[in-house]
Amino acid sequence: MIEYSLATHIVLSLIIGFIIGLQRELNNIYNNKKDLAGSRTFALVALMGYLSVFLNIDIFLGVVSLVGVGYYINAIKSEHKGITTEVSLILTYLLGMVIAKDEVLGIFVAILVVFILNIKDKLVEIEKRIDKEEVNATVIFLLITLTILPILPNDTIDQWDLINPYKIWLFVVLVSSISFVGYILSKIYSDKGIYITGFLGGLASSTATTMIFSKRSKDNESLSKETAIGIGLANSMMFFRVFVLVLIFNPLLAKLIVAPFILASISGFLYLYTLSSGARVVKQKIEFTNPFDVFESIKFGLIFGIVFISIELGYEYLGNEGLYIVSLVAGLSDVDAITIAISEMKNITASIAIFSIIVASISNQISKLIYSFFLGSIENFKYFAIFNAITITALLVGYLLVTIIV
């Protein structure tokens, strides 16, 4: 009898190959063209990869040669010269081999392959919306990071034993990457309405979103409710973003901080949902600064360094009060740096760390409320003030719940 694991691997190889082949076949149907292989061929190639491992036969070069010949014949008959299907076919053979070693890894890679094959149209759309200068800035940033990061000292270099260049630049890359996701998404969906723009703006920059929407309400006071909802969506996302940063750098602290920040985010969304009754759909584009711009990243790195020094020295000389003071001041301009700095501290209790991050978040909210007051309409400010009152109350209630549990 055939062993259960062997039968499972054979079926899994066929299914993975069939799914990848089906994606390529449907893509060809939509684009009205013929290609080298379809779903059946892909399924058989995946099975071939699995059996080559099972039988301990190396036919990889033979498969590559066969695909190469197929590509040459197909290229002669067609004007299309892309090699996506050919590369996918070779990958499918390798996936069959992977299934024989680790079926979970094989499934994971197969999902990634299908995902990459399916995002072509979105990539084309992104290319249309991003300027050449922005692409160049992103490429330069990534090149600098890949070149410099490995050679940066992964140890402190200052007399206070606080500044670690490697870790600081790593923090910059991580935070910039999160902002870049929001930046790209806002480029793609900026014409979908002010609510989508505000929501995605919370990933890119809730402060920039607040300022731009407030100015819009000043220019057209009849849109004050709509701009306030957009601002609120951005700031509700900011609370979620803070939680994600803590989760990345201090998972244990994240388990405790989840209550105040998710509560604040949800309460904000609920208020905005009730406010949206009768509101209009309004378009609003936001021009964010590319988070991968080298000069912006260097500036952000300097802010990180200053915050790290301030938070450590403040705690050393003033204790808990020093943490709260630095959190209050740092939060006025940016909440990411102080969140990561607090999350990285090992010599403070969880309740103090949570309260410090909450202080920074409240400070950040107040600074944006001030922007709203001076830049926007009175009605926009009132709506945003109510949003702040609700979310800040939720933060404090969540913190009280945490202190009771801890």
HSE-CB of 40 using CA atoms within 13 angstroms:
0
Q: Where are the domains of the chain?
A: 4-118, 130-405
User: How many Å apart are CA 113 and CA 109, to the nearest integer?
Assistant: 6
Q: Count CB neighbours of 292 within 10 A.
A: 23
Residues 316-330: what's their mean pLDDT? 91
* 261-265, 278-282, 306-310: least confidently modelled range: 278-282
String of DSSP letters for 10-22? HHHHHHHHHHHHH
Residue closest to 186 by CA, chosen among 217, 240, 194:
194
User: In terms of DSSP H, where are the helices of 149-222?
Assistant: 165-189, 194-204, 206-219
Q: Are 53 and 71 in contact (CB under 8 A)?
A: no
The model's confidence at residue 316, banded by pLDDT at 50, 70 and 90, is: confident
**Residue partners of 281: CB distance under 8 A and separation at least 6:** 193, 194, 195
Q: Is the pLDDT score of 268 beyond 80?
A: yes
Output the average pLDDT for the chain: 82
User: How many Å apart are CA 336 and CA 360, to the nearest integer?
Assistant: 9
What are the distances in angstroms from CA 311 to CA 297, 306, 321, 344, 362? 21, 9, 11, 11, 17
String of DSSP letters for 40-74? HHHHHHHHHHHHHHHTT---HHHHHHHHHHHHHHH
The pLDDT of residue 154 is 74
Q: Count CB neighbours of 333 within 10 A.
A: 14
- How does pLDDT run across 160-173, given as a tens digit for each residue? 666 778 778 878 87
Residue closest to 207 by CA, chosen among 170, 182, 187:
182
Residue 377 three-state SS: coil
pTM of this structure: 0.68
The model's confidence at residue 280, banded by pLDDT at 50, 70 and 90, is: low
The pLDDT of residue 10 is 84
- How does pLDDT run across 14-41, given as a tens digit for each residue? 888 888 888 777 777 666 666 667 778 8
Q: Is the pLDDT score of 205 beyond 60?
A: yes
- How does pLDDT run across 345-385, given as a tens digit for each residue? 888 899 999 999 999 999 999 999 999 999 999 999 999 99
Two tokens at 354? 């949570």
Two tokens at 260? 């105040």
- How does pLDDT run across 167-194, given as a tens digit for each residue? 788 788 778 777 777 777 766 666 566 7
User: How many Å apart are CA 244 and CA 254, to the nearest integer?
Assistant: 8
Q: Are 338 and 354 in contact (CB under 8 A)?
A: no
**Residue partners of 29: CB distance under 8 A and separation at least 6:** none
φ/ψ (deg, to 5) at 59: -120, 20
Residue 38 three-state SS: coil
User: How many Å apart are CA 38 and CA 42, to the nearest integer?
Assistant: 6
HSE-CB of 331 using CA atoms within 13 angstroms:
25
Instruction: Fill in the DSSP letter of residue 130.
Output: S
Most distant CA pair in the chain: distance in Å?
79
